[in-house]
Amino acid sequence: MCHRNVTNKSRLNRHARNDYCHSKPANLAEPGCSGRTAVNKIQRQRLAWRTGFFLLFILAPIFNLFRFDLEQNHFYFLTFPWTLGIDAFKSGDISAMEMALNMGLRFFLPLGIIISLGIWVSWKWGRLYCGWLCPHFSVVETINHFMRKASGKLSLWDRDPLPEDQADGTHVHVEKKWWWVTGLVIVGFSFVWAVVLLTYLLPPREIYYNLFHAQLTRNQALFIGVGTLLFIIEFTLARHLFCRFGCVIGLAQSLVWMGNKKALVVGFDRGRSNQCAECDASCEHACPMRLKPRSIKRKMFTCTQCMQCVEACEKVHENDPRPPLLHMLQDQCALDVSLRDFGLKPEIPTDCFPPISGGPKDSSRG
């Protein structure tokens, strides 16, 4: 385990910081003392995007922004009924030409625009949708957070718990009582997901009215009950697995991203890798997808561009004149990660990583 490689110096610094943090309750509010140190601007922006999209996920069917109505057998899009005119064609109200035009303009055109946009974003920035918008990934990160407080692990399948104190200032005191909260969060999310998914298929007004008045029909109750149960199993045991290999949207983004060697990627200043010996792999502990951010691109296939590893490394170097070792790279610089495979060591511009402005003698790039 990497976190056993912490040098005495950094361990002492960390212990000194923890002693300070716990000496007075007020100190816990200071940077470096709370459960995680204050998040950087990128993580605040990401939280705002994810929260906004999660609300949109819940509200979209309610306001007919997007849903399929099984009773009326057509979509709603931006409050308008979205029909292809099949019924009108069958009854002879529109010609075959008009029907074909409808198919082109109302089906293939919007579908083509959405797919092209998705491919373009993934080509340049990878699984940006996953890390910055996806409501499932918000659930993954929230459950990770509480599961770590309850067990020290981000997943039940992890072999070893993460360290309670990390070089990036993270302090997570593990207490069994958090299992109750973790369980409630899992059940709560599962129930919300099952109800919301039903409102994408049946009129939301009817579903919420029936739910709040305990008048759900047998099929509605069955859908919500079975859905909740399946989500409980998935969120508890297989949420990372689903993000990695079970989600078609995620998989498609990864495949497109892998095709572009110059796409945005987490880069590692390998010339200074000896400095990681002073750290406890905080970047790896920060990764919600359980990846090793210092690896080559092939091993980062499911990276969601959440940048939490970059933030962790920033915090490790908060009081260090030397810059962090992880940075987001793009274009020619990204080749350092994407082409570094099977013994290849690509030439990259000299300014891909920030200059070293100070620090101990060993701060030079090797």
Contact predicate 234/194, CB 8 Å? no
Measured CA to CA, the distance from residue 36 to residue 33 in angstroms comes to: 7
Q: Which letter does DSSP use for residue 343 in this model?
A: T
Asked if 162 touches ligand SF4 (CB under 6 A), the answer is no
Q: Which two tokens stand for residue 217?
A: 């029909």
* 231 backbone φψ class: left, alpha, beta (φ>0; ψ -120 to 50): alpha
Asked if 309 touches ligand SF4 (CB under 6 A), the answer is yes
Q: How would you write 213-236 as a 3-class SS string?
A: CCCCCHHHHHHHHHHHHHHHHHHH
Asked if 140 touches ligand SF4 (CB under 6 A), the answer is no
Concatenating the DSSP letter of every residue in 42-76 gives: HHHHHHHHHHHHHHHHHHHHHTTSEEEETTTTEEE
Stretch that binds ligand SF4, among 204-212, 241-249, 303-311, 342-350 (CB under 6 A): 303-311
Asked if 155 touches ligand SF4 (CB under 6 A), the answer is no
Asked if 264 touches ligand SF4 (CB under 6 A), the answer is no
For residue 193, the minimal CB distance to ligand SF4 (Å) is 22
For residue 85, the minimal CB distance to ligand SF4 (Å) is 44
Please pick, from the candidates 207, 303, 333, 334, the single residue that binds ligand SF4 as defined by CB under 6 A: 303
Asked if 337 touches ligand SF4 (CB under 6 A), the answer is no
For residue 301, the minimal CB distance to ligand SF4 (Å) is 10
Please pick, from the candidates 128, 134, 264, 326, the single residue that binds ligand SF4 as defined by CB under 6 A: 326
E strand or H helix that includes residue 212: helix 204-212
Phi, psi for 76 (deg, rounded to 5): -115, 135
Stretch that binds ligand SF4, among 157-165, 194-202, 212-220, 320-328 (CB under 6 A): 320-328
Asked if 306 touches ligand SF4 (CB under 6 A), the answer is yes
Asked if 263 touches ligand SF4 (CB under 6 A), the answer is no
Q: Which long-range CB contacts under 8 A does 104-108 form with residues at least 24 apart?
A: 106/82
For residue 233, the minimal CB distance to ligand SF4 (Å) is 24
Contact predicate 321/360, CB 8 Å? no
Q: Which position has the token pair 């306001």?
A: 63
For residue 275, the minimal CB distance to ligand SF4 (Å) is 6
Q: Which letter does DSSP use for residue 182 in this model?
A: H
Toward ligand SF4, which CB reaches closer, 154 or 186?
154
Q: Which position has the token pair 């599961």?
A: 147
Asked if 154 touches ligand SF4 (CB under 6 A), the answer is no
Stretch that binds ligand SF4, among 43-51, 91-99, 172-180, 278-286 (CB under 6 A): 278-286
Asked if 283 touches ligand SF4 (CB under 6 A), the answer is yes
Toward ligand SF4, which CB reaches closer, 1 or 184?
1
Q: Which residues bind ligand SF4 (CB under 6 A)?
A: 266, 275-276, 279, 281-283, 286-287, 289, 291, 293-294, 300, 303-309, 312-313, 316, 324-326
